[in-house]
Amino acid sequence: MTDIPDPSAWSCPLPLRDHPAVVMGHGGGGTLSAELVEHLFLPAFDDPALRLLHDAAVVEAPAGRLALTTDSFVVRPLFFPGGSIGDLAINGTVNDLAMVGAIPLYLTAGFVLEEGLPLATLGGIVQRMRAAARAAGVRIVAGDTKVVDRGHGDGCYINTAGVGVVAPHVDLSPRHARPGDRVLVSGTIGDHGTAILSVREGLEFESVITSDCAPLTGLAQAVLAAAPGTRVLRDATRGGVAAVLTEIAQAAGVGVVLEEGALPVRPEVRGACELLGLDPLFVANEGKMVAIVPAAEADAALAAVRADPLGRDAAVIGTVTADHPGFLVARTGIGATRVVPLPLGEQLPRIC
C-alpha cells in the first residue's frame, strides 16, 4: 500500500537523537520536555503565539460570535492510506467548527504519548498536522504533552480544541430541518472507515481504499453562499450518514427518506462492505458533509459543492418529510422501503 504516509521520511533533529523513542522524561517538564518542544513541535507548527511558550496563547479576537469545540483522536493504526492521526486531529476539529458555519482560526493540540513511541513516528504525525493545518487555514497556537507508561496507550492520542468565528446571519441547527427540505451529501460515503478496517484486518483489495480525511470549511462556506436558507450542516463521522440523519430527524421531529440508489459509494468500498457484512451508511467518513437545504435552493447548493474538487461526487440523496418523525427510512433499489435502525454500538460484521 504505497500511499500510506511514511513517517520515516522525517529526520530527527540533533539534540533529540540521543532518545530515538519517547521516554517518560519527555513528559517530565525538564530538559527532555523542552527539547521535544523546541526541536519537534515548534519548528513544525511554526506559530508566533506558540513560540512565546507561555502558559496560554494570546491571540487576536475577531468580531462576531465564536464557535468552540474539542475532540479527541484515537486510531489504530496511526498511519493509514490517505492520512494519519495527525490529519484526523486537525480536520476533525476544523470540520466540527465548519459545520456550525464557522471559519476556523485557532487550534490547540494536546498529546498523550506512550513510552517507546519512535520519535520518527511522532515527527511524521506532527508534519502531517502542520500540512493539514496549513491546508485548512488554521493556526496551532497552544499545546501540551504527557507521557504514559508503555502499554498504557496506543502510541499516541491527540486532543485538539478549536476556535472559529461565525458570521452574524448564520444560524445552523439540526432542529431547523423542515418537511420538504432536500438532503445533500458532499461525496462518496464510507471511505474512511473502510480504509481503516482494511488495513487493520490486513485485507487487500485490487485498488487501495483511501481515507477521505479533508477539511470541509470551503464546502460549508460554498453551500452557505449558494443556499442562504441552509438549515443544517453535519460532518458524517462516527456512525456515518445514517447516524447523522437519524439525529437530525430526532432533533427536528421530522422524518428523513433516503434514496439508496442515489447514495454515492465507490465500487471498491461497496465491495469491501459486502465482504465484511457492513453497510456503508453506518461507516465513518472524515471529509464528508451532509447538508439539509430548502428544496428551492438544492440545485444551487449541489452545483456549489460540485464546483469544489472535494465535492465533485456530491449528490442529493433524500428528502425531509413530515411522516414518521424521528425515523430514517430508505427507499431500496427495488422500490421498497425500510427503516434504517441505528446499531446499538459499533456495527458488527455478520457471520454470513
Partner 1 sequence: MPQPRHLDRTGPVKYLTEFRDGAAARALAREIRETATRRWPIMEVCGGQTHSIIRNGIDQLLPDEVELIHGPGCPVCVTPLEVIDRALAIAARPGVIFCSFGDMLRVPGSAHDLFRVKSEGGDVRVVYSPLDALALARQHPDREVVFFGIGFETTAPANAMAVHLARREGLRNFSMLVSHVLVPPAIEAIMAAPRNRVRAFLAAGHVCCVMGWWQYPPLAERFGAPIVVTGFEPLDILEGIRRAVRQLEAGEARVENAYERAVTFEGNRPAQRLLAEVFEPVDRAWRGIGVIPRSGWRLRDAYRDFDAEARFDVGGIVTHESAACRAGDVLQGIIKPHECAAFGTDCTPRTPLGATMVSSEGACAAYYNYGRLHQLQRA
Figure out which of the listed residues 271, 294, 295, 300 binds partner 1, where binding follows CB under 8 A: 271
Figure out which of the listed residues 127, 186, 188, 221 binds partner 1, where binding follows CB under 8 A: 188
From CA 302, how far away is CA 296, in angstroms rounded?
11
Select 42 or 276, whichever has its Cβ closest to partner 1. 276
Size of the site for partner 1 (CB under 8 A): 43
Select 17 or 338, whichever has its Cβ closest to partner 1. 338
Q: Minimum CB separation from partner 1 for residue 67, in Å?
A: 31
Does residue 137 belong to the site contacting partner 1 (CB under 8 A)? no
Does residue 276 belong to the site contacting partner 1 (CB under 8 A)? yes
Does residue 122 belong to the site contacting partner 1 (CB under 8 A)? no
**Cβ–Cβ under 8 Å, residues 235 and 288:** yes
**Cβ–Cβ under 8 Å, residues 103 and 3:** no
Select 129 or 330, whichever has its Cβ closest to partner 1. 330
What mask of x and - would describe binding to partner 1 in positions 235 to 264, judged by CB under 8 A? --------------------------xx-x
Does residue 335 belong to the site contacting partner 1 (CB under 8 A)? yes
Does residue 266 belong to the site contacting partner 1 (CB under 8 A)? yes
Binding segment (CB under 8 A) for partner 1, from list 24-32, 47-55, 65-73, 334-342: 334-342
**Cβ–Cβ under 8 Å, residues 201 and 186:** no
**Cβ–Cβ under 8 Å, residues 107 and 90:** yes
Does residue 151 belong to the site contacting partner 1 (CB under 8 A)? no
Instruction: State the alpha helices, DSSP H only, in 187-230.
Output: 191-200, 217-226
Distance of CA 339 to the CA centre of its chain: 27
Does residue 350 belong to the site contacting partner 1 (CB under 8 A)? yes
Cell 444551487 belongs to 300
From CA 281, how far away is CA 111, in angstroms rounded?
31
With vertex at residue 91, the alpha carbon angle to CA 144 and CA 38, rounded to the nearest 5 degrees, is 30
From CA 72, how far away is CA 12, in angstroms rounded?
26
Nearest Cα neighbor of 90 from 119, 117, 127, 58 is 127
Select 168 or 345, whichever has its Cβ closest to partner 1. 345
Does residue 63 belong to the site contacting partner 1 (CB under 8 A)? no
Strand 289-293 with 232-235, pairing: antiparallel
Figure out which of the listed residues 74, 76, 274, 322 binds partner 1, where binding follows CB under 8 A: 274
Does residue 348 belong to the site contacting partner 1 (CB under 8 A)? yes
DSSP secondary structure string for all residues of 108-161: EEEEEEETT-BHHHHHHHHHHHHHHHHHHT-EEEEEEEEEE-TTSSSSEEEEEE
Select 63 or 339, whichever has its Cβ closest to partner 1. 339
From CA 102, how far away is CA 148, in angstroms rounded?
35
Does residue 267 belong to the site contacting partner 1 (CB under 8 A)? yes
Cell 497552544 belongs to 142
What mask of x and - would describe binding to partner 1 in positions 292 to 331, judged by CB under 8 A? ----------x---------xx-xx------xxxxx-x--
Phi-psi label, residue 57: left if phi above 0, alpha if psi -120 to 50, beta otherwise: beta
Contact footprint for partner 1 (CB under 8 A): 188, 201, 206, 261-262, 264-268, 270-271, 274, 276-277, 302, 312-313, 315-316, 323-327, 329, 332-339, 341, 343-345, 348-352
